[in-house]
């Protein structure tokens, strides 16, 4: 059965996007694969500033060529957090990764959420393929990542997570320490799902693992929320599944 393959940044993102895909009932036509799926691999390959040669994404793309040859894969979607980058720099990173993974005959991505046919050659077998590519960059109000969307669509009370999120930056000032916004939102998510929404006897594995949360505790999030960025993400997923 043909499936569109979606490349996401890591294993944690894989579980989150799979939960959204199940929610919109597109799991039969979309397969999510992590660009990087181990901590060691992350240290070796992940470099958000390496726009010219994004090694993790290049490797993930190269690993798809067997699916091309068997005609299991005819569409590839690349999903990345925008973080604090520009749209132009993210598009450049994605196009550089495609050029790094294959020999390109024609085609490149010029915009988000738009399928583009790219004619390419597998560098190992020299076989030619025509594959539809598209990309989507996750953000909230123009920056951030998927965890920012999860925070925005949470549907349970979060007094502990909110309190820590509000006061922790000030607590770190005397020691000259600082956490980036992306670190803070990940901490918020951890405190929300662990301390705000679980009894004391369940605040440990497996109940706090992201794969368990996204399969068994999705009631923590409102995936039907009218948040603009969530609607755009689901529209992209539906486009990739058609």
Same domain, yes or no, for 36 and 124? yes
147 found inside a domain? no
Rounded-to-integer distance, Cα 167 and Cα 163, Å? 6
pLDDT at 94 > cutoff 70: yes
Same domain, yes or no, for 71 and 186? no
165 found inside a domain? yes
Same domain, yes or no, for 78 and 136? yes
Domain span including residue 122: 4-141+230-241
pLDDT at 31 > cutoff 90: yes
Same domain, yes or no, for 78 and 22? yes
Edge-to-edge strand ranges of the sheet holding 4-10: 30-36, 4-10, 75-81, 128-138, 116-121, 103-106
Phi, psi of 180, deg, nearest 5: -70, 160
Residue listed under structure tokens 């798809």: 64
**pLDDT value for 166:** 96
Same domain, yes or no, for 128 and 162? no
**pLDDT value for 46:** 57
Same domain, yes or no, for 20 and 126? yes
Quickly state the pLDDT bin for 52 (edges 50, 70, 90): confident
Same domain, yes or no, for 43 and 115? yes
pLDDT at 37 > cutoff 80: no
Same domain, yes or no, for 89 and 114? yes
- The vertex-114 CA angle with 112 and 118, nearest 5°, equals 105
Cβ distance 113 to 239 under 8 Å?
A: yes
pLDDT tens readout for residues 139-179: 999 999 999 999 999 999 999 999 999 999 999 988 999 89
Q: How many domains does the chain have?
A: 2
**pLDDT value for 44:** 52
Cβ distance 227 to 153 under 8 Å?
A: yes
Q: Is the pTM of this model over 0.85?
A: yes
Rounded-to-integer distance, Cα 240 and Cα 44, Å? 30
Element (H, E) at 103: strand 103-106
Quickly state the pLDDT bin for 29 (edges 50, 70, 90): very high
Give the count of alpha carbons within 13 A of 164, CB side only. Answer: 16
Phi, psi of 219, deg, nearest 5: -70, -5
225 found inside a domain? no
Rounded-to-integer distance, Cα 165 and Cα 111, Å? 35
**pLDDT value for 38:** 55
pLDDT tens readout for residues 123-137: 999 999 999 999 999
């Amino acid at each position: 059965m043909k499936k569109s393959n979606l490349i996401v940044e890591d294993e944690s993102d894989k579980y989150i996007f799979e939960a959204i895909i199940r929610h919109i009932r597109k799991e039969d036509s979309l397969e999510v694969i992590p660009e990087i799926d181990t901590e060691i691999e992350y240290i070796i390959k992940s470099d958000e500033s390496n726009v010219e040669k994004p090694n993790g994404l290049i490797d993930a793309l190269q690993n798809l060529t067997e699916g091309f040859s068997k005609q299991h894969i005819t569409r590839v979607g690349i999903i990345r957090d925008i973080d604090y980058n520009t749209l132009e720099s993210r598009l450049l990173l994605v196009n550089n990764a495609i050029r790094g993974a294959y020999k390109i005959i024609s085609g490149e991505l010029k915009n988000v959420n738009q399928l583009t046919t790219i004619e390419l050659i597998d560098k190992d077998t020299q076989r030619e393929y025509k594959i539809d590519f598209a990309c989507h960059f996750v953000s909230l109000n123009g920056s951030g990542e998927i965890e920012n969307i999860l925070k925005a669509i949470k549907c349970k009370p979060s007094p502990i997570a909110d309190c820590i999120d509000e006061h922790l930056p000030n607590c770190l000032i005397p020691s000259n320490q600082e956490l980036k916004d992306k670190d803070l939102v990940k901490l918020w998510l951890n405190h929300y799902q662990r301390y705000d929404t679980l009894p004391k006897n369940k605040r440990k594995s497996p109940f706090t693992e992201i794969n368990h949360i996204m399969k068994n505790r999705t009631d923590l999030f409102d995936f039907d929320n009218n948040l603009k960025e969530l609607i755009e993400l689901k529209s992209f997923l539906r486009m990739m599944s058609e």
